[in-house]
Every structure is written in C-alpha cells, then in structure tokens.
Amino acid sequence: MSPFHSALKQLTKAAALMNLDDAIFEKLKKPDTILQVSLPVKMDNGTTKVFEGYRVQYNNARGPYKGGLRYHPKTNLNEIKALAFWMVIKCSVVGIPMGGAKGGITVDPKKLSSRELEELTRVFTKKIAAFIGPDKDIPAPDVYTNPRIMSWIVDEYSNIVGHNAPAVVTGKPIELGGSAGRIEATGLGGFYIIQELVHKIKMSKKNITVAVQGFGNVGYYIAELLYKAGYKIVALSDSQGGIYNKNGLDMNPVNIMKTKENEGKISGCYCIGTVCDCENFKQITNEQLLQLDVDFLVPAALEEALNGKNAGKVKAKIIVEMANGGVTPEAEKKLLQKNKLIMPDVLSNAGGVTVSYFEWVQNLQNYYWTLEDVNTKLKKIMLDSFNQVWNIKEKYRTDMRTASFISALARIQEAMRLR
C-alpha cells in the first residue's frame, strides 16, 4: 500500500466514525494543487543533471499552506501527497491556523557538493517562487534538509520579490530570523507527549526502556531529552544500522552524536558518519531494533518502518510514531489487535510545525521570543492537544490516530463550511 493510499484509509476510517460531511470527505481525498518541476543543475564535473521537484498544496481552509521539504533519493509524488495531507491533519490537531503542504526533490543530497546542493535549492526556489510566500505557502526542513538549505531559499526568494522575506520559510538559522527552540521542537513535542502519557496511564517512572530508530533532527533530540529525564535508551539507529545495550549503559545520545561526527566523513553539507561508529555497543540492524522488547519504540526515520510484514514481531508496549507515516494501516491493525498503544505521527511530531508557526508569527511581527516563551507555549499546546485527543478516544472508543483525525477533521470541516 502506498503512503497516500494509507493516508486515505486513515481518513476514511475517521470520517465514517464521526459522520464527516460527504462533500468535505470527497474534497479531502484530493490535494488543491500539485506542482512538479524539472531542476537542471550544472554539476562540478561540467555535465548537467536534471532533478525532479514537487510541491503539493493540499488544503488551506484553516490558514496558509505549511509543510516541509524533503531531499531523498526515493522521494516521489505519491509520498509527497501523503505527507501534505498529514500536514493538514497535524496543524488542525494542535489547533494552529495553518493548512497543509509538502515538497521535495528526488535526489541523494549526500552525493552533491555544497555548491551543487546550493544551486539545486536555488533553482527549485525559482521554480516554486510564484506559489510560495509568507501568506501563501511556507516550507520548512524535513528529511535531509536543514537550516542551511532554508537560508538559501530565503535569500533566493527575497531576491525575487525584491525585499527581505524571512517568513517565506521556517526552520531558519536564528541569525536569519529563526526561532529559539525550533531545532529541537519536534523531539521536545514528542517528549512532552511521552511524559503526559506516562502520567496518564500511571506508568512506573523507573527503568522505562526506549529504542529510537533514526538519529537525525527528530531521533537525536527525542533520545537526548528522554535520556536526560532518566529513561533508559537501549538502542539507537540510522540508515546504516543500529547499536544496542540491554541495560542502556553509556547510551548517552550526546556522546554518540560526538563520535558519529568525529568519525564520520563530511560529504557536501552532510556528516555521513553513523551511530555504528560507536564500537563499544552491540551492532544490530534496523529490523532488529524494531523488534526489541522495550516499553517505548520510537520510529523517527521514514514512513512504513512498521508494516504488514514486521508488525507481528513488535514486542514494544507503546509506539510513539515520530516519523510521518511510520506505521502503515496494516501494521496498525495488527498492533492494535495485540493491545499496543500507538501515539500517532499527527500528534507526536506536531511540535515541529507548532514552533514553525511560532517562528512565522515572530517574523511577521519582527519581535522575537525567548526560549522559555517558546517552550512554555509549545508545552501547553502539546499537552492540551494530547488530552483533547485522549478524551475523543475514550468517547468514541477508538484508537489515538482515529481520535486525532476526528479532532482535526471537526475543525477543518467547520472552516470549510464557514467558507
């Protein structure tokens, strides 16, 4: 099942349970706009390569389109459509006044030099410039994109419109109008969800074990926050494999990141080291990590990590889906049958877009908040959203994903009706 097919399945399940208006259901099955662009780049060796880029604007009933940009060799239109749809739901779950979009380029960015990556980003910005903008559609970082790439977009877009326009993207460096706390926001939002859940289900706080798949922006920060709060991180992984220590000994994400960066080579704008450079741990595969007997399993890499094939082997009690689309509907069905609790992506990882929204607000006001302001507001939104979704779950006797969708769709439906 493709990611977009999965997204529609989730929509259909929630729509049926809440009696979503038929016309709105039909409208939500398709994105508003799909933009597909060719991106010619002069490579360092003198040849020209043409890459493919996308921007899908899904729905803006509740506010301007909002969503990240992904640079990945497997990125394709189906995936971007699903990710754009999930952004619509996510912004609404946490009640921020934005719609949903997503974009990306099919490219292995680690194989490009810094100059090639910059040119690719600037060509992409030129091609989508008429469609994005602070009041229209505001991109942000996602897999293999980062604040450096956002800086090039701000610069290129500002040159095109003839004035400084920092609010065209979020996830910028602080010096260019980025928000305090944005870099760790997605991980911190997920951390708040876990803390609230532990409190809600009265879980003993001692020796809670966690395995995290993916050690990028999201995986690293959530692992670091959990480690600092006393959770036992027993396994971590990235695209090259994983590391494991049953007792969580020395599994300090800060040290592991240092080793990864010290050992790893730099390719263009990327460190291509791996957690597997930490040789004092047992080496495991990503599949083995997903099957560990832990309290919390946190997929924080790519979609479909847990799927129909491997879900039956999952031993973790609770899955906190930090990767968008990390659990397929087939996997979810199997996991729910085994009474696993799944904290869905549209709730768990919504901290990122929440602080992106704060960044946009700060840019528009040209008035900047302290880290304390940002995190206090983020915490309130995450906890309120968690509790609203939890209550809907109880009311409809359903799972947390369907409850999140019901919460989101009710707001989207109201906005679409009013318009």
Could you give the residue numbers annotated as active site? Answer: 102
Q: Which residue number has the CB closest to ligand NAD?
A: 216
217 is a site residue for ligand NAD (CB under 6 A): yes
The residues in 52-111 that bind ligand NAD, with binding defined as CB under 6 A, are none
On whether the CB atoms of residues 136 and 129 are closer than 8 A, the answer is: no
Q: Of the candidates 125, 286, 307, 375, which one interacts with ligand NAD according to CB under 6 A?
A: 286
Q: Is 360 in the site for ligand NAD (CB under 6 A)?
A: no
Position among 141, 178, 190, 253 found at the interface with ligand NAD (CB under 6 A): 141
d(CA 273, CA 240): 9
Q: Based on the shown chain and the rule CB under 6 A, indicate whether residue 144 belongs to the binding site for ligand NAD.
A: yes
Name the residue nearer to ligand NAD (CB basis): 28 or 188: 188
Q: Which of 144, 244 has the CB closer to ligand NAD?
A: 144
- Candidate ranges 212-220, 336-344, 382-390, 408-416; the one touching ligand NAD (CB under 6 A): 212-220
> Within 10 Å of residue 293's Cβ, how many Cβ atoms?
13
Choices 91-99, 125-133, 300-308, 368-376 (CB under 6 A): range interacting with ligand NAD: 300-308
In the block, which residue shows the tokens 């095109």? Answer: 160
* Residue 217 known to bind ligand: yes
Which of these ranges, 21-29, 208-216, 364-372, 393-401, lies near ligand NAD under the rule CB under 6 A? 208-216
Candidate residues 116, 118, 142, 295; the one interacting with ligand NAD per rule CB under 6 A = 142
347 closest CA partner among 143, 92, 98: 92
> Which position among 6, 324, 354, 375 is part of the footprint of ligand NAD (CB under 6 A)?
324
Number of residues that bind ligand NAD (CB under 6 A): 24
**Residues 147-176 contacting ligand NAD, CB under 6 A:** none
Residues that bind ligand NAD (CB under 6 A): 141-144, 186, 213-219, 237-239, 286, 300-302, 322-324, 349, 352
